[in-house]
Amino acid sequence: MSTIFEKIISGEIPADIVHQDELCLVIRDIDPQAPCHLLVIPKKVIPRIGNAVENDQSILGHLLLIAAKVAESENLSSGYRIVINNGSDGGETVPHLHVHVLGGRQMKWPPG
Q: Which helix (H) or strand (E) holds 55?
A: none
Answer yes or no: 37 catalytic.
Answer: no
Beta bridge partners of 18: none
Catalytic site residue from 19, 37, 62, 98: 98
Q: How far apart are CA 98 and CA 89, in angstroms?
A: 16
- Please spell the DSSP secondary structure of 2-41, one letter per residue: --HHHHHHHTSS---EEEE-SSEEEEE-SS-SSSEEEEEE
Whole-number Cα distances in Å, 1 to 30, 51, 79, 95: 21, 18, 37, 11
Between the two ends of the chain, the Cα-to-Cα distance in Å is 30
User: Catalytic positions, please?
Assistant: 98
